Structure 1
Amino acid sequence: MRIMIISDAWLPQVNGVVRSITETVRELRGFGHQVALITPLGGETDDGDGFATLPCPTYPDIRLSLFPYRKVAQRLAAFAPHAVHIATEGPLGLAAQRWCRRHGQPFTTAYHTRFPEYIHARTRLPLAISYAWMRRFHNRAQAVMAPTPAIVADLKARGFHNVVLWSRGVDTRLFSPGERERLDTAQPRFLYIGRVAVEKNIEAFLRLELPGSKWVVGEGPQLAELKAKYPEVYFAGVFPQHELARFYRAGDVFVFPSLTDTFGLVLLEAMACGTPVAAYPVAGPLDVVGASGGGVLHQDLRTACLQALTLDRDQVRRVAEGYSWTAATRQFESHLCPRPLGEQEGMAFTPGGGR
């Protein structure tokens, strides 16, 4: 099957959306599917034929494509996909949706990010306004893939249609227990890895009175502010995945203060390295960690941090071993909505026109 995936989030961004897509594409190709991508770079690599972009307001690391419809239509027409998956709600996703609706091509979408809450945290825009727009975008899809049962239930309660579960996985070979010498600071070592931005609620972690030392690994728009405000915290910047595994292993507790993440791949990565999680009992941690023994969830994050120190790292690792990208991608594959077989071959598309 020819599968086209469209995403406004792509390299060099380092986040859960990009990670989920790259791992899913790798698995789909392993299943024998032909997969193509439309991203701000143009394709999977910067081939010089990408889109003109501008930085997203309040978040310059994210690039928004300008007037992308013509190129998006050309690439969709040339590929003639059997199935289309729109991963993000940005300009590329909107352009792809427009083409699909014009040509009668079924498509699926994904709810990766609580954008209404993120926008509210930055601009105070009422949630009702942004959720209305999100419903309009996603309710045109044949299936809306959400990462946890709690998010599926929440979206259904908010009026989203055809919401289905698409879980996530972790590379347990890369993220695995091993030497723990990466962080040469006072123990216990409490660690955060991820985007440094206001919606991640990182200050809830940094202002805690905890023994030992605190580490933040990652970059984002709030980095300079937090470095100035918390000089006692170690800020390490961005690292490739194999180096991240060394950070995870060296941590005594992985602290996840977010209240708005839909899943949190970093939870699985930390647990796969044997490092227990401390988090709030909210969607994401409740589904991924819960009462599994992989971490401690508590309304008092300090309590969660201190109790997590007592957990057995071998048991923490076993929790992560229950997740795989192969199983998650089979789930993704089962939700795709290919064009009826009689219409899949021999079609000539014209961008912006009929068939």
Structure 2
Amino acid sequence: MDDKLDKVYLHISDLADSYFKILLNSIEKDIQDLNLVKLIRNFSMSIPGVFLILPFFSSVRHMNGSVELLSNFRKDHQIPEQERSRRTLWFSDTLNDLNGVSVTLKQMGHKAISRGRDLKIVASMRDGEISADIPGNLINLPPMYSFRLPYYESYMIKVPSILKSVKLIADNEPDQIIISTPGPVGLLGLLMARMLNVHCIGIYHTDFHAEARHIIEDESASNIILSYERWFYSLMDEIRVPTNEYGKILEERNIHAKNVKLLRRGIEADDFEPMQDRKSYLKTELDIRDGFTLLYAGRVSKDKSLDLLCEVYRRLAKTRDDVNLIVAGNGPYLSEMKEELENYPRVHFTGALSRDKLPGLYNGADVFLFPSVTDTFGMVILESLSCGLPALVSNHGGPKELVSGGGGAVVPDQKPDTWVKAILKMVELAEKDPESYAQLRIKARASVKESSDWDSILDDLLGKDSVLLEL
């Protein structure tokens, strides 16, 4: 009988997937065309599909209610129960991309495994995308549809098979759900948290509202994103923000949850540390000429204010002819940025680099530039500081908190001449007072407090490994 029911469930899952694939194909076209009216209309057309799968959602919620009822009965009658550790599922739409979200999740996943913590990462990936550095505690939701977002061509959005995913998640019986992204996988995590009535934490990793304003330059589109973010995060029991600055920003945008707390993050300071022959990587691997070297690392996108960086370098080149600029990373602005700086032989584009190459890059550079005004944190800044590389950052968003310990400086505005002045001040320090510059590099390293106590970091986010009740 169970086998027959499983076959019926699988058949209805495939039927629901077929319906939603047709709908998603139309929605993808609307997103590519930025046709908001048709997009809303297509979302309304999803209602029949929702009715198809609604009974299965109700069944999951009903079964969870029965579990709670039985648990309360056992407590009331002091019936002993089997013990197990707290179980957390962490949902993300990105896991194998070169960004701070992926780095954080992989780091947490590996640390949880080594410490025997009951954490599983939930993502939607194709078989060929599961690389060797993906933690073994992965729950891979089968994707039924995928597409690329405009202006984010390097990212593939995947929509998991809904009913198949619901079963996978429910079978894991989570006590807590953490959500890193507000995409399809994150939405599914939110739905399951509400269905299973478990504690739900939303992490505000990315400021999509600010990014949309800089990339699309369409106020109506960015306002729709803001409205969606308000709705999405309002359903959380708790929001974690990367910096105190973003706690204030969310408050100003009326994005509220029951609790807003700081997301603690660690860094492997033994992996990102100063090298004795710090220039060797730039000379042997990248063939960088002698001179003062500026570095930007991260996604190469216009929302990172890289058009400003281009103008800053052009003005700087008029003053100095011995300044190198290295741009490490890929993204939608890469081709245009190469064209903007094609006449400058000291500008080098490395493309995306694996993490093991980054310490050599950070060590070889003389100052790290991060002009972005849309970042909530900036893991690359933390990595550069840990290698002893001073950083110049914008006065907006989260990065300015990372240099507050004296490992660099905050540039007061986004005017090109202000950035040129800040860079020249750093060049002058390195040339005329090398001892003070060396001390600045030491200070940059010291400003990064290595969070070696990973147990306390995991406790802070996952909760104490307290005993829960297994029914």
TM-score, length-scaled by structure 1: 0.88
| Equivalent residue, structure 2, for 1:5 | 90
Tell me whether 1:345 sits opposite 2:449 in the alignment: no
**Aligned-pair distance for 1:337?**
7.2
Q: Is the 8 A contact 2:264 2:457 kept in 1?
A: yes
Tell me whether 1:197 sits opposite 2:334 in the alignment: no
| Equivalent residue, structure 1, for 2:271 | 174
**Aligned-pair distance for 1:167?**
2.9
| Equivalent residue, structure 1, for 2:114 | 30
Partner SS for 1:182: helix
Q: Is the 8 A contact 1:206 1:214 kept in 2?
A: no
Deviates most, 260-269 or 72-81: 72-81
**Cα 1:2–1:268 shift into 2, 3 Å:** same
Larger Rg: 2
**Aligned-pair distance for 1:295?**
0.5
CA distance in 1, matches of 2:426, 2:143: 46
**Aligned-pair distance for 1:105?**
2.1
Per-residue CA deviations over 1:104-154 (Å, capped at 9, x if unaligned) read 122111000000111222221344432221011011111111000111121
Deviates most, 55-64 or 65-74: 65-74
Q: Is the 8 A contact 1:72 1:92 kept in 2?
A: no
Alignment counterpart, residue 330 of structure 1, candidates 443, 456, 467: 456
Within 5 A, what are the aligned runs for 1:220-259? Answer: 220-231=331-342, 232=344, 233-259=347-373
Tell me whether 1:215 sits opposite 2:337 in the alignment: no
Alignment counterpart, residue 166 of structure 2, candidates 55, 73, 76: 73
- Give the partner amino acid of 1:316: A
In structure 1, the gaps of 5 or more residues are: 347-355
Within 5 A, what are the aligned runs for 1:46-195? Answer: 50-52=142-144, 53-66=146-159, 68-123=161-216, 124-126=218-220, 127-159=222-254, 160-161=256-257, 162-178=259-275, 179=277, 180-183=279-282, 184-195=288-299
**Cα 1:313–1:59 shift into 2, 3 Å:** same
| Equivalent residue, structure 2, for 1:306 | 424
Partner SS for 1:5: strand
Quote the sequence identity (%): 26
CA distance in 2, matches of 1:262, 1:134: 15
- Give the partner amino acid of 1:51: P
- Give the partner amino acid of 1:190: L
CA distance in 2, matches of 1:258, 1:24: 26
Per-residue CA deviations over 1:59-86 (Å, capped at 9, x if unaligned) read 1221212353223312211211122111
| Equivalent residue, structure 2, for 1:350 | none
CA distance in 1, matches of 2:349, 2:126: 33
Relative contact order, higher structure (CA 8 A, sep 6+): 1
CA distance in 1, matches of 2:333, 2:200: 35
Partner SS for 2:383: helix
Q: Is the 8 A contact 2:181 2:203 kept in 1?
A: yes
Partner SS for 1:259: coil
**Aligned-pair distance for 1:335?**
4.4
Deviates most, 104-113 or 70-79: 70-79
Deviates most, 240-249 or 99-108: 99-108
CA distance in 2, matches of 1:134, 1:337: 25
**Aligned-pair distance for 1:223?**
0.7
**Aligned-pair distance for 1:316?**
1.3
Q: Is the 8 A contact 2:245 2:397 kept in 1?
A: yes
Report which of the two has the higher share of helix: 2
User: Structure 1 runs of 4+ off > 4 angstroms?
Assistant: 46-49, 335-338
Q: Is the 8 A contact 2:122 2:141 kept in 1?
A: no
Per-residue CA deviations over 1:247-278 (Å, capped at 9, x if unaligned) read 11100011011011001011111111111101
**Cα 1:326–1:282 shift into 2, 3 Å:** farther
| Equivalent residue, structure 2, for 1:317 | 445
**Cα 1:109–1:49 shift into 2, 3 Å:** closer
| Equivalent residue, structure 2, for 1:297 | 410
TM-score, length-scaled by structure 2: 0.67
Deviates most, 270-279 or 37-46: 37-46
In structure 2, the gaps of 5 or more residues are: 1-85, 132-138, 283-287, 413-417, 430-436
**Cα 1:102–1:49 shift into 2, 3 Å:** closer
**Aligned-pair distance for 1:280?**
1.5
Deviates most, 219-228 or 58-67: 58-67
**Aligned-pair distance for 1:325?**
6.2
Partner SS for 1:189: strand
Partner SS for 2:296: strand
| Equivalent residue, structure 1, for 2:76 | none
**Cα 1:282–1:332 shift into 2, 3 Å:** farther
Partner SS for 1:207: helix
Size of the alignment, in residue pairs? 340
Q: Is the 8 A contact 1:4 1:84 kept in 2?
A: yes
**Cα 1:267–1:67 shift into 2, 3 Å:** closer
